[in-house]
Amino acid sequence: MKIYILSGAGLSKDSGISTFRESGGLWNKYDISKVCSLEGWQKDRDFVTKFYDNRRIELKNFKPNPAHYFFAKLEKRYKDHLFHLTQNVDDLLERAGCKNVIHLHGTLTDLRCEDCKNIFYIGYRAQKENEICPKCKSKNIRHNVVMFGEVVLNYRYLYTLAKEADIFIAIGTSGRVIDIVDLSNEFKTTILINPNREKYVTIFGEHEKYIDEFFDIFIQKRAVDSLKDLEKLLGNYDGSFKTATK
C-alpha cells in the first residue's frame, strides 16, 4: 500500500499559524497583490522582503501539533511507500520528524539566489541587507516562497507521484489553489479531511457540488481531531473502504 498526502494550511492552523483565507487571516491583514504576487515583488522588493522576514522570524515560535507528529509516525511505518506534498511553507512537518516532504510552494527558512538558483538555509532570521549566495557569491537574493504569477516547478510532482500511490489523503486544504477533485481521479481510494464543506470551484466557475462528494471518505473535522479516524481507516484498509466516516 502506497499513500499520497496533500496538505494545506489547515494542517498547521492548530499550531497557531494563521491561514490566508480564514476570517482574520493574512489576506485580511495584507494586500495579497502586494506581498504574494510577482507584480508586487517587482514594484517594492523591500516591502515584500520584510513581509517574508517577519513570517520567518515568527515561525520559530510555532511548534508542530499532533497532526504533524502523526504523519511523521506514518512516514516511519510506510517508509518509502508514503509521499507527502504540502502547500505549506513552514517547517513544522520536518520538525515533527518527517523526512520525505515536498514543499510545493517553497520554504520560509530558505533563501534563493536569482542568478544561479541556489537555495540555501538561513533558519529563522531576517534576510541580511547584503545577503550573499554561498555558491556563486551573488547578492541577487530573495525569499524562497513561490508567488502568484510565477511558475510552480514542484507542481510536476502532483501527477507523477500519483501514479505510484493507491490512497490519496487531502487534509486541511480548500481545493482553491490545487484542484484536488481532478487530482483525486488518479487514485483508487480517496480521503478528504476538512472541517468545512467547500464548494467545488474551478477556473470555469463554481459547481453545484461540494468537493467532498468526489471523495470516497470525508472526515469533517480539523486535522488534529481526525487522527483516530484516519488511523482506523488505514488500519482496516484491504484495498477499499466499504463505509464512509462522517
Dist CA 149 CA 139 (whole Å): 23
Residue of 68, 84, 103, 105 with catalytic role: 105
What is the enclosing helix (H) or strand (E) of 167? strand 167-171
What is the enclosing helix (H) or strand (E) of 121? strand 119-121
CA triple 167-174-160, angle to 5 deg: 40
CB atoms within 10 A of CB 48: 22
Pair 145, 54: CB distance under 8 Å: no
Pair 139, 130: CB distance under 8 Å: yes
**Local structure of 70: helix, strand or coil:** helix
Active site residue 105: yes
Instruction: Find all residues with CB under 8 Å of 163, minimum gap 6, and list them.
Output: 186
Dist CA 55 CA 117 (whole Å): 22
Hey, what's the cell of 197? 464543506
Instruction: Find all residues with CB under 8 Å of 213, minimum gap 6, and list them.
Output: 200
Hey, what's the cell of 217? 471518505
Question: Is the four-CA dihedral 25, 85, 189, 72 of positive or negative sign?
Answer: negative
- Annotated active-site positions, please? 105
